[in-house]
Chains A and B, each alone.
Chain A
Amino acid sequence: MYKKIICVFLLLISISLTSCNTTSLQFNSDPLELINRKVFSANDAVDQALLRPVSLVYRRITPKLLQNDIDNFLQWLDTPNALVNNLLQGNFNQAETTLKYFLMQSFYLGHVDLKATYGLAFQSEDFGQTLGSFGFQSGPYLVLPLLGPTNLRDSVGRAVDVFLNPLNYLGTESSRTVFSGTRGALEALTFRAKYSKQIDELRGNSIDYYTRVKTIYNQRRNASINNGMIENSPEKTETIDAFDDQFLKLLD
């Protein structure tokens, strides 16, 4: 089983390596748009029929403090992964913060807001971001059933993250499956509950919901790879073709 998974990873990584050397894969590369749109519609139907109503009930009946604890706990589960990726990216200052965050949150069991109390801000890092920081292009945009928007690089990253997180090696295989399934469902639920208003607004304000989500996903990932826009040179944002000279002349 593991051998098969490793083979798939190697294949995906080799595809991603190839895309690193090509310039044809653009910021919004979407050669699978027809399939992606169908999966997107199916995901949206599941969201509207199941995830949205359940998340609204969750938000209504769960005390705010408990919601915060659950958010903190889920974040804590992600810290080993973030730590490994901090180190892989050579970001040792952030690695130190992540380690402190992990240890302190292990002690407080998610009951304390470490940013407000100790100024410890958790910054999510995944292997997709690490690949991005190494210069790997995103590759084609993908919409995965139930998992939502991603791209080739981030899909590879997501799969590698499963192996990088030491918490995924605890317990028996069946308990790990139950645990990761529950964790995934809980993450989806809390995310939907937290950003319920924004997602509903996005859905309602779009004339092409699919394209809007795709563009936001791509930009958000780029910003995450650059660790937020504000620390970076604004010229980086101008590498996107949208603001090129030739186009701007058209507006004169």
Chain B
Amino acid sequence: MKKFIGAVLALLIVTSTANAEKRELGGLAEAFIGSLSNQVAQLNQNRSLDSTTRRTKFMRLVERGFDLNWIAKFVVGRPWKTASPNQQKEYLDLFKNLVELTYSKRFIEYSQQRIIVLGHKLGKRKFIFVESQLVDPKNPKGNVNIVWRLIPKGSSFKIVDVVIAGISMAITQRNEYSAVIKRNNGSFDLLLAAMKVQLKKLRSAP
């Protein structure tokens, strides 16, 4: 009987320790998103910087916060494995350039909005979901729910997906890239060509 009680107690201790660790991990993930969004907001409010410097600094924050290599591979899907090292390298460069151009333009426009962290949920496969809301003081009706999908990396975290109002950026882009590859009979080169055209279009846009 004593042994049994001992075993139950041990199990309770192990479970509660594991739960405490998980809670702590979630709290750290929340703090990570809070800190990153504060840094982005501060950078955006710093009007003494010219747009090129601000964009460079923004991209540095993105690279620190997001696992761009992971996202790039996730987005292209299975063809990643069959692509040659040269194709892989070219793809990663193009992907990062596209992210930079797409999101830095958007970032410069969002100067008043704030990210408010609401909580977290622990998902399967080590994923942590930090729930937040994008609040715009100019448009109180237009608050947007944002969920950040994070994975622990070393002593910190990396963002691998952003779900805005129920729309996952990674899944959206993945479906799009898969469609391009599928429509071009599985050609990785034609995906690279489409990305180059896209990059050129974004660079020439005002």
Contact = CB atoms under 8 A, between A and B. Distances in A.
A215 B171 contact: yes
B61 interface: no
B118 interface: yes
A211 interface: yes
A66 interface: no
A199 to B, nearest CB: 14
A233 interface: yes
Looking at chain B's contact residues, the main secondary structure is: helix
A240 B171 contact: yes
A219 B195 contact: no
B147 A229 contact: yes
Contacts, number: 103
B124 A205 contact: no
Contacts of B140: 115-116
A96 to B, nearest CB: 21
Interface residues of A, number: 38
Contact of B81 (A223, A224, A243, A250): A250
Given A211-B176, A223-B165, A251-B70, A228 B145 contact: yes
A55 B179 CA distance: 31
Contact of B124 (A214, A215, A238): A238
Contacts of B168: 219, 237, 240, 242
A222 interface: yes
B66 interface: no
A28 interface: yes
A183 interface: no
Contacts of B121: 233-234
B172 interface: yes
Interface of A: 28, 113, 115-116, 201, 204-208, 210-212, 214-216, 219-220, 222-224, 226, 228-230, 233-235, 237-238, 240, 242-243, 245, 247-248, 250-251
12 contacts: A28-B175, A205-B202, A207-B177, A219-B168, A219-B172, A229-B147, A230-B118, A234-B147, A237-B163, A242-B168, A242-B171, A250-B78
